[in-house]
């Protein structure tokens, strides 16, 4: 016979903590605490299999369930010396939901179930306290009506308020037994009025009603939404826990409370929590009365005038201290506990691994390792890499109120506040005047780099997680919200409209790049603090990982940041980002608008010294660490002048007529530039560009090596390669330039020439390409775009429904599509290694900073990942966890 029900209590249980999938988190831990001999009120868990069955069979239960619940109820009755439904000696129970992962949004708790007009008298008699019994009954009626019968709380609150007003009472505790008796009559009448039938008096009917409500709540809208946001499959189902009641509202020697074994916001080792004397569970949460501190130290620190549990209930407190020590030792993690004290005796109602801030998580992991409770490797595995973001950027003060006007994509973490500006020039101007601004654009382009630099943060209404704004902002470490589609920007009127509100240039907004929220006004911020535990944990992580971590860095500032955050080299320097700086853009435009090689060479000669000094600075900062410099990649289209003023500027510099330049710009205009005249295609058509860049790289390497005394081994990278002959042509030019510079300077620079692997064809032909290429760096942004045929700039508009409907597990531009793109990466690794066994392999697409993708990179055998400087710590930790073979566990 299938088993659907598992009992616990009295030092024994049919389940244990390892059975979370079947018993849910709460049920498994109640069983575990019973097995440990801790004081747990006896009860039973109806397994998650019943939930699955319920939904697979048109909301019906398995046949054996009824009998098994009755047997379990009898067992609990035996342990407590009571009988469920008995008029003289009733067993009362609580009914709680409990999924594998804790899940707000579901039905939570019904207490005092089993009370009716008859059993309430028995309870009064047994407790010797009629008021207590009636108080418990009215709580049951309101709770049960609310969560099972769907007769909302407000019906009862109105009745209670009216009564209190009439009697001139302030607090619920002012009500007498007779008051509650009168109210119960009114409560029941309200239920009858709302439902057209009586409040159920039969305890069995009550119980099955509550069980049905728990299972029903698994599919309510809030629970579905929560699962969607947290990747929890609907197939998991919830369990139901039925447990003998213990009463915290049985007078002054009774209480109820919640406690953490360590401080969940700082991680400090102290019992942290609150409790209420003469109260039931929901009073603590409801905030009707102010709870009291558990320890005397916390009470003194808070300046509270109410006694601590330590003073008011010394025995129960001592028991709690004993138990919390035992639980931490047993679970080897910080616990979040619920307890009740009934007439001086402590009962444990729940324990689970406690939620905590990242700061606390670091401290707790490091402390637990230092205390010998867990190993250093486990400490490293305990920290969610993405959560480190919280520490590395300023964030909005969690206590501050938020007026959200729109939500876009959390494109680059951290929060920023400032006045709205709609153009990059204005952002730059404002910065010069010392004003803080948020740059608001429909989308950004390479021409906005200066504005993005100047702004505190960037908000775009279009574009996804790998749109220009997102990639550049992450690289700069600037907060960015992208694709906030509900905002309308009107450049002409200089306004933005969101949720019916129109804001003007100069109005203050705050963006939260960690959540994608856009807030009205300037929110207060918290500065990042890299505590000792952070450094300690990162040191342990570095010791555990195999892959190296490099940064995508284009500027000296990026490079310095990269080193600060522990990057071990530069995996991608996008040279085009240097082309927009200062007045270089004029020379760049001169180069691309020239219609012959001579003209291009003249413009390139102007760019050479600037590039050389850029590279020299990078090499110096990186001090001998590897630096990969990529030749010019973006479509020429992106550099074209747009306005008459821009054309006039170039025309003056070149001595060519504006008409001629306009015509040339028109020729270079592309409809699909990302698949157009870009990447190594530029070097094939205009080899002199690659030559200038190669010369700048080698001359800079000589210069920097002289300065630092560390030899520089530049890695020159060719973008968007699809065939070996294409790569060879470019490589020949680079090699020739290396030889020329060596001859001119008398200094021979060691270097490597490799390629981006970012086209499916390159993956397929990797073996052949590796005959010439000395390293591969996977450009998974373009590889995702070209493999899936999805534009990286425009995908946001339709990817949402794809992830929501489960067609794809995640945004493929954020987390690598392992099955498709990943298969191509593995194929290229195999091909490359077959030709060149020691070929250096890295990744420099955005996936290089994504924890799940980094796990993939470890399995694909890459040598390093390269990500934005600010993500380097996340990548270091992810790489360590990947190496330690962390099995991602969703269960709390
Ligand atoms: C890539 O395509 O993954 C890459 C790193 O290059 P970019 O984003 O500059 O196209
Ligand atoms: Mg690319």
pLDDT tens for 576-623 read 878 877 678 889 999 988 889 999 999 999 999 999 999 999 999 999
Distance (angstroms) between ligand 2 centre and the Cα of 767 equals 20
- The C-alpha atoms of residue 252 and residue 313 are separated, in whole angstroms, by 10
Ligand nearest to the CA of 847: 1
How many CA atoms, within 13 angstroms, populate the side-chain half-sphere of residue 820?
A: 17
Average the pLDDT over 29-39 and give the result: 97
Which one of 763, 779, 784 would you pick to mutate in the ligand 1 pocket, going by the greatest count of ligand atoms within 8 A of its CB?
779
412 falls in which pLDDT band (50, 70, 90)?
confident
Which secondary structure element, helix H or strand E, spans residue 660, and what is its range?
Answer: helix 658-668
Average pLDDT over residues 218-232: 83
With a cut of 50, say whether residue 888 has pLDDT above it.
no
Tell me what the pLDDT averaged over the chain comes to. 92
Distance 844 CA to ligand 1 centre (A): 7
Question: Which pLDDT belongs to residue 535?
Answer: 92
Burial per residue of 486-515, b for 16 or more beta-carbon CB atoms within 10 angstroms, e otherwise:
ebebeeeebbbbbeeeebebeebbbbbbbb
Nearest CA to ligand 1 atom 1: 779
DSSP labels for 243-275?
EE---S-SSTT-EEEEEESS-TTT--SS-EEEE
Answer yes or no: is pLDDT of 892 > 50: no
Q: Report the alpha-carbon distance of residue 870 to residue 392 in Å, rounded.
A: 7
Going from the Cα of 791 to the center of ligand 2, the distance in angstroms, rounded, reads: 12
Beta bridge partners of 551: 570, 867
For the segment 760-774, the average pLDDT, to the nearest whole number, is: 98
Most confident of 127-141, 377-391, 451-465: 127-141
Kindly name the residue from 573, 844, 857, 867 that is annotated as catalytic.
Answer: 844
Concerning whether 468 is annotated as a catalytic residue, the answer is yes
Which ligand gives the minimal distance to the CA of 571? Answer: 1
pLDDT at residue 473 tops 50: yes
How buried is 668 (Cβ within 10 angstroms: 0-12 exposed, 13-18 middle, 19+ buried)? middle
Centroid of ligand 2 to alpha carbon of 878 (angstroms): 23
Closest ligand 1 atom, CA of 471?
Answer: 8
The ligand 1 atom nearest the CA atom of 780: 3
Residues with CB under 6 A from ligand 1: 572, 574, 633, 758, 779-782, 844-845
102 near 149, Cβ under 8 Å? no
Q: What is the pLDDT of residue 288?
A: 58
Closest CA to 341 of 437, 238, 203, 247: 247
The pLDDT assigned to 608 comes to 95
Residue with the larger pLDDT of the pair 6 and 230: 6
Give, for ligand 1, the residue of 681, 719, 792, 847 to mutate: max count of ligand atoms closer than 8 Å to Cβ. Answer: 719
Q: DSSP 3-state assignment of 33?
A: helix
**Residue 417, CA distances (Å) to 4, 65, 85, 508, 513 in order:** 54, 57, 61, 7, 11
Which of 553, 577, 758 maximizes ligand 1 atoms within 8 Å of its Cβ, making it the mutation to test the pocket?
758
Active site residue 680: no
Position in ligand 1 atom list of the atom nearest CA 845? 3
Asked if 483 and 467 touch (Cβ cutoff 8 Å), the reply is yes
Distance 862 CA to ligand 2 centre (A): 18
Q: Which residue has the tokens 């996936």?
A: 847
Interval between CA 719 and ligand 1 midpoint (Å): 9
Quote the radius of gyration of the chain (alpha carbons, Å). 33
pLDDT of res. 529: 66
Alpha-carbon span 11 to 26, nearest angstrom: 17
Q: Whose CA is nearest to atom 10 of ligand 1?
A: 782
CA–centroid distance, residue 702 to ligand 2 (Å): 28
Q: Which ligand is nearest to the CA of 574?
A: 1
**Distance between CA atoms of residues 315 and 309, nearest Å:** 9
Closest atom of ligand 1 relative to the 466 alpha carbon:
8
Query: What confidence tens digit (pLDDT) does each residue in 283-304 have?
Result: 665 555 678 899 999 889 888 8
Most confident of 169-173, 384-388, 749-753: 749-753
Atom of ligand 1 nearest to the CA of 778: 3
Among 493-507, 632-646, 721-735, the minimum mean pLDDT is found in 632-646
Question: Near ion ligand 2, which residues have CB within 5 Å?
Answer: 758, 779, 782
Catalytic residue among 75, 393, 468, 577: 468
CB atoms within 10 A of CB 739: 12
Tell me the pLDDT band of 330, cut-offs 50, 70 and 90. very high
Higher-pLDDT residue of 218 and 433 is: 218
| Best probe residue, ligand 1, of 679, 756, 778, 793 (max atoms within 8 Å of C-beta) | 756
pLDDT of the residue at 890: 35
- Report the separation in Å between the CA atom of 277 and the middle of ligand 2, taken as the mean of its atom positions: 63
């Amino acid at each position: 016979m299938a088993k659907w029900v598992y009992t616990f209590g009295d030092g024994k249980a049919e389940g244990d903590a390892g059975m979370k999938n079947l018993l849910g988190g709460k049920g498994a831990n109640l069983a575990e605490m019973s097995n440990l001999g801790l004081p747990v009120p006896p009860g039973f868990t109806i397994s998650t299999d019943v939930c699955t069955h319920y939904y697979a069979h048109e909301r019906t239960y398995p046949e054996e369930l009824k009998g098994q619940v009755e047997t379990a109820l009898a067992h609990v009755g035996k342990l407590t010396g009571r009988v469920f439904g008995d008029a003289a000696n009733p067993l009362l129970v609580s009914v709680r939901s409990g999924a594998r992962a804790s899940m707000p949004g579901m039905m939570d708790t019904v207490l005092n179930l089993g009370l009716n007009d008859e059993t309430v008298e028995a309870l009064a008699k047994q407790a010797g306290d009629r008021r207590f019994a009636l108080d418990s009954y009215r709580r049951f009626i309101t709770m049960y009506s609310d969560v099972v019968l769907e007769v909302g709380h407000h019906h009862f609150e109105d009745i209670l308020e009216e009564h209190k007003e009439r009697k001139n009472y302030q607090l619920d505790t002012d009500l007498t037994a007779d008051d509650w008796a009168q109210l119960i009559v009114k409560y029941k009448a309200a239920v009858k009025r709302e439902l057209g039938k009586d409040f159920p008096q039969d305890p069995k009917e009550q119980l099955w009603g509550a069980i049905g409500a728990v299972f029903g709540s698994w599919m309510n809208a809030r629970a579905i939404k929560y699962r969607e946001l947290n990747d929890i499959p609907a197939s998991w189902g919830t369990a139901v826990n039925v447990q003998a009641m213990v009463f915290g509202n049985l007078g002054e020697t009774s209480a109820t409370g919640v406690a953490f074994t360590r401080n969940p916001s700082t991680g400090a080792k102290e019992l942290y929590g609150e409790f209420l004397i003469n109260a039931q569970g929901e009073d603590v949460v409801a905030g009707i009365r102010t709870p009291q501190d558990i320890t005397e130290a916390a009470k003194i620190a808070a300046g509270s005038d109410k006694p601590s549990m330590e003073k008011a209930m010394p025995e129960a407190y001592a028991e709690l201290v004993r138990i919390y020590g035992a639980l931490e030792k047993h679970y080897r993690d910080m616990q979040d506990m619920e307890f009740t004290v009934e007439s001086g005796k402590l009962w444990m109602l729940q324990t689970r691994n406690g939620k905590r801030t990242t700061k606390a998580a670091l401290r707790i992991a490091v402390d637990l390792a230092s205390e010998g409770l867990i190993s250093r490797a486990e400490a490293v595995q305990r920290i969610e890499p993405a959560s480190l973001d919280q520490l590395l950027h300023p964030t909005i003060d969690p206590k501050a109120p938020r007026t959200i006007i729109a939500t876009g994509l959390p494109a680059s973490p951290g929060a920023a506040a400032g006045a709205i500006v709609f153009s990059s020039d204005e952002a730059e101007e404002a910065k010069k005047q010392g004003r803080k601004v948020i740059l608001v654009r429909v989308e950004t382009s390479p021409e906005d780099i200066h504005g993005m630099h100047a702004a505190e943060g960037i908000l775009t209404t279009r574009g996804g997680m790998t749109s220009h704004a997102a990639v550049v902002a992450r690289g700069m470490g600037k907060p960015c919200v992208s694709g906030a589609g509900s905002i309308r920007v009107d450049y002409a009127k200089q306004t933005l409209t969101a949720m019916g509100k129109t804001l003007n240039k100069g109005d203050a907004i705050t963006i939260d790049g960690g959540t994608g929220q856009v807030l009205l006004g300037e929110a207060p911020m918290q500065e990042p603090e890299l505590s000792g535990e952070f450094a300690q944990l990162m040191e342990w992580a570095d010791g555990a990982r195999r892959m190296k971590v490099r940064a995508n860095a284009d500027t000296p500032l990026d490079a310095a940041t990269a080193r600060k955050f522990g990057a071990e080299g530069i995996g991608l320097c996008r040279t085009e980002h240097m082309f927009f700086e200062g007045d270089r853009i004029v020379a760049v435009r001169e180069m691309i608008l020239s219609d012959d090689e001579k003209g291009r060479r003249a413009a390139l000669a102007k760019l050479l010294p600037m590039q050389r000094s850029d590279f020299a600075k990078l090499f110096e900062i990186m001090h001998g660490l590897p630096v990969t410099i990529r030749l010019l990649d973006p479509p020429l289209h992106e550099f074209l002048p747009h306005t008459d003023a821009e054309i006039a500027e170039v025309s003056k510099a070149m001595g060519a007529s504006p008409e001629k330049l306009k015509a040339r710009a028109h020729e270079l205009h592309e409809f699909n530039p990302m698949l157009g005249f870009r990447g190594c295609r530029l070097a094939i058509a205009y080899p002199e560009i690659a030559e200038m860049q190669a010369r700048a790289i080698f001359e800079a390497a000589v210069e920097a090596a002289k300065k630092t005394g560390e030899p520089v081994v530049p890695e020159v990278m060719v973008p968007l390669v699809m065939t070996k002959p294409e790569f060879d042509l470019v490589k020949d030019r680079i090699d020739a330039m290396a030889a020329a510079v060596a001859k001119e300077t008398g200094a021979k620079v060691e270097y490597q020439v490799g390629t981006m692997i970012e086209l499916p064809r390159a993956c397929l032909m990797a073996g052949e390409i590796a005959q010439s290429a000395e390293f591969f760096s996977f450009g998974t942004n373009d590889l995702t775009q070209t493999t899936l045929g999805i534009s990286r700039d425009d995908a946001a508009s339709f990817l949402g429904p794809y992830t929501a409907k489960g067609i794809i597990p995640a945004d493929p531009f954020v987390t690598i599509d392992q099955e498709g793109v990943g298969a191509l990466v593995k194929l290229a690794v195999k091909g490359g290694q077959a030709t060149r066994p020691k070929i250096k392999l890295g990744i420099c697409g955005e996936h290089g900073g994504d924890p799940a993708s980094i796990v993939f990179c470890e399995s694909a055998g890459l040598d390093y990942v390269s990500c934005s400087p600010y993500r380097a710590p996340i990548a270091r930790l992810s790489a360590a966890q990947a190496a330690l073979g962390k099995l991602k566990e969703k269960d709390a």
